Amino acid sequence: MYVTVAEGTSAARVMILGKTPEPVNGACASYSDDKTSVTLTWDCLTTDPDTGLAPYQGAPVLDYVVEVNSGSGWAVASHPASTEKTRTVTGLDPTLTYSFRVSAWNEAGNGDWQEFTVNPFDLAEDSATVAAGETTTIAVLDNDTAPAGSTVALVGDDGASVTELTRPEGTYTVVDNAVRLEADDAFTGTAEPISYRVVIGDCADDAQLTVTVVKAGLALTKTAHLVDGNGDGIGQPGESVDYTFEVTNTGTVPVDGVAVDDPMLPVTCPAGQLAPEAKVSCTGSLTLTDANVAAATEGKIVNVATATADWRLGDEDRTVASDESTAEVPVKPTVVTPTTTPTPTGTPSPSASPTPSTSPSPSVPASPSTSPKPTQSPTGTPRPTATPTKPMPTKPPKPGLPSTGN
């Protein structure tokens, strides 16, 4: 600023040629692990993004000057002039405690000094295993050192802080300072890492989160073999059916304790772990009985089985089940031929006994009530008569009539 006074007058003429820069903000210092260097970052929120000038500044920033104090006074950290808002100071003694400050400079001079806050974060890389198609919340701060009041954000593709990211493995969202993932059901495997950001005051630090999406699955194929005793191809009571149950791990995680549930018979499976894409065969046998043959539907025994196994998602024990699998066996019941029992005739009653026929006797005429009357022959066969006790003369036939023998 220049002030001039005209000679012989009390009027003053003021001309502002420039103004020193505004103080920086967001100044944060992050030490290396061995404490021999520090990375300083800051911002200048008052800078106009179009002109690069601070309000009423009048001149652009030409340099940022960093000073270091290890207890014996401030000293400039040597560095070529730069408008980059970051600086790394090396050659530090890890046994000493340092302070740092920065000031923006332009043609009018330097702005106010801003001391750095030492980054309070110690962030660790995070990893999580989640199940496909499920929603999981990952507490990313649980393995980090961060002061109370720190906030979590996701880092977008442009480096800015965001609250939501969509990736092939699903959608990430910040919820209550944790990262929630809605995993896509179609994705399995290890996803590309994402970055999250922890912020407090002027300091922020980033760390990565790597998610592995897994899926558990079983497939069951059931087959039946009839031990056909008579070779007719149809099961009957007393014959047996041998079943084979092929269980395949269709998931991306190993499973243990494979078992098959079939309500009609016990099934035995090998013990041990089943790796992804591996198969195991379980067996069982059913002896056909009159009861299960009688209960057959449309001449077939159709029984349903399901396979199950155990697996772990992090610290959680889970169970996976297959779809149902069926097998059919044609059967027929035992045919029992009924024995025909003859109808008993019974013993004739004396009163109901038929009177035996008697042969004609020359001395005893046949009784009409006991002897059946012979059917008259169409040829006119003479009817036998009882022999008379005395011969009687035969009457001559009437004229014009045939003789009948009587």
Report the alpha-carbon distance of residue 288 to residue 250 in Å, rounded.
33
pLDDT on residue 33: 83
Domains and CATH numbers, the chain: 24-116 (2.60.40.10), 126-214 (2.60.40.10), 218-330 (2.60.40)
Sign of CA dihedral 173, 176, 178, 182: negative
State the amino acid at position 327 in one-letter form. Answer: A
Count of Cβ atoms closer than 10 Å to residue 302 Cβ: 13
The whole-model pTM stands at: 0.63
Q: Give the pLDDT score at 377.
A: 47
**Beta strand segments in 149-292, E:** 151-155, 161-162, 164-167, 170-175, 178-183, 189-190, 194-200, 203-214, 218-227, 240-249, 255-261, 273-274, 279-287
**At 377, is the secondary structure helix, strand, or coil?**
coil
Average pLDDT, consecutive stretches of 10 residues, N- to C-terminus, the chain (406 residues):
60 66 86 90 67 58 94 94 93 93 90 88 94 97 92 95 97 98 97 96 91 98 94 93 98 98 97 97 96 90 96 95 96 68 61 52 49 49 52 53 45
- Cβ 406 vs Cβ 385: under 8 Å: yes
C-alpha 172/C-alpha 156 separation (Å) is: 11
Are 324 and 304 in contact, with CB atoms under 8 Å apart? yes
Tokens describing residue 11:
């009027």
For residue 284, the model assigns a pLDDT of 98
CB 184 within 8 A of CB 133: yes
pLDDT of residue 19: 78
Tokens of 286: 């059913």
Give residue 160's pLDDT: 93
DSSP-assigned states of every residue in 234-250? SB-TT-EEEEEEEEEE-
CA angle in degrees (0–180, nearest 5) for 393-399-404: 55
Q: 201 φ, ψ to 5°? A: 55, -130
Measured CA angle at 211 (ends 214, 155), to 5 deg:
150
pLDDT reported for residue 52: 53
Distance of CA 356 to the CA centre of its chain: 95
